[in-house]
Amino acid sequence: MPWVESGAASLYWEAHGEGPPIAFLHGAGGNTLVWWQQVAHFARAHRVILFDHRGFGRSRCPSAELHPRHFVGDVARVLDAAGVERAALVCQSMGGFAGLPFALAHPGRTAALVLCGTTGGLITDLVLRDVSRLREKQRQLDALHLTLSAAFLAREPALSFLYAQLSALTAPGVLEMAVARLADVRLRPEQLVEFATPTLVLGGSEDAFFAPDTLGGLADAIPGSEFVELPGVGHASYFEDPETFNRVVGEFLAKH
C-alpha cells in the first residue's frame, strides 16, 4: 500500500491497469473506495490512479493542515509518486476544488478535466444562489439524503447503506472541517479567460447541492467546456448510475 508525503500530510494512493492515466478525485463523502464501479470499468484501458484526500480514508493530516490550499500540491505529489507527468482528472464534489485549481496551475499536466456535481471553486451568481439554498437543506436533511437521490435511496437500500459505510471510514469531524474551508477557494470567471484544458461538466438532475442550470452556467464560464445533465440521479451520480457516468466520461476522454 503506497503512501506519499505532501507537506504535513501522508497521502494514501493506489494505481490499477495500464494505458492513458486517469486520476479520480473523490468528494467529501468519499475516499478511494467509492470509485469501485469506475476502477473496474476504466482500468481495462487506462492506468487508474486513486488517492485519499488529506485527512480522508487512509490518508493522515494534522487538523490545522486540513485545508484546500494544499490540494494542488497533493495532486502533484500523487502524480509524481505514480510516475505520471500528464493525466486526465475526474473530480466529484470536493474533488473539483483540487482538479480545477490544479488544471489552472498545471495546464501541461492536465490532459482533460471532468467536474461532476462541483463548482471547483468557481463563483457565479447561480452558484451563490445554490449555496444559500444548501444551508437551509442542511438543516433539514443529513449528508446521505443530500448526496443520494430519494429514488435511489428507496430503490437501492443495500447500495445506500454501502455508501454510508464507505463515507464513515473518514474520521469524525474531518468532513465538516474540510467542507467549511472550501469557501476559501474562490475563482472568478475572468481567471479562466485563457483556460484551454478540455473540460466536461456533469450534473445530476436531482442534485441537492447544485442545480443543472447552475452547472450548465458554470460550463458556459469555462472556455470550450461542455455540459451534460445526467437524468434521475443526485449528487453522487458516479455511484447511482455508474453505467451512464462511465459511458459519458469515457466518450469525452476518448476525444481528448
pLDDT in tens, 165-204: 999 999 888 888 888 888 888 999 999 999 999 999 999 9
Contact 75, 52 (CB under 8 A): no
- Describe the crossing of helices 96-105 and 71-81 by its angle, rounded to 10 degrees: 80
pLDDT at 136: 83
Exposed e or buried b per residue across 193-203, where buried means at least 16 C-beta atoms within 10 angstroms of its C-beta: eebebbbbbbb
pLDDT at 125: 92
- Please state, for a pLDDT cut of 70, what percent of the chain lies above it: 100
Annotated domain spans of the chain: 3-254
pLDDT at 232: 98
Mean pLDDT within 60-68: 92
User: Is residue 95 pLDDT above 90, yes or no?
Assistant: yes
Q: How far is CA 124 from CA 5, 106, 178, 249, in A?
A: 35, 23, 21, 25
pLDDT at 239: 98
Q: What are the backbone dihedrals phi and psi of residue 77, each rounded to the nearest 5 degrees, phi first?
A: -65, -40
Mean pLDDT within 63-80: 95
* DSSP state at residue 192: G
Q: In the predicted model, what is the mean pLDDT of the chain?
A: 95
In angstroms, the CA 123 to CA 144 distance is: 25
The fold of 3-254 is Rossmann fold (3.40.50)
The 3 state secondary structure assigned to 78-108 is HHHHCCCCCEEEEEEHHHHHHHHHHHHHCHH
pLDDT at 1: 58
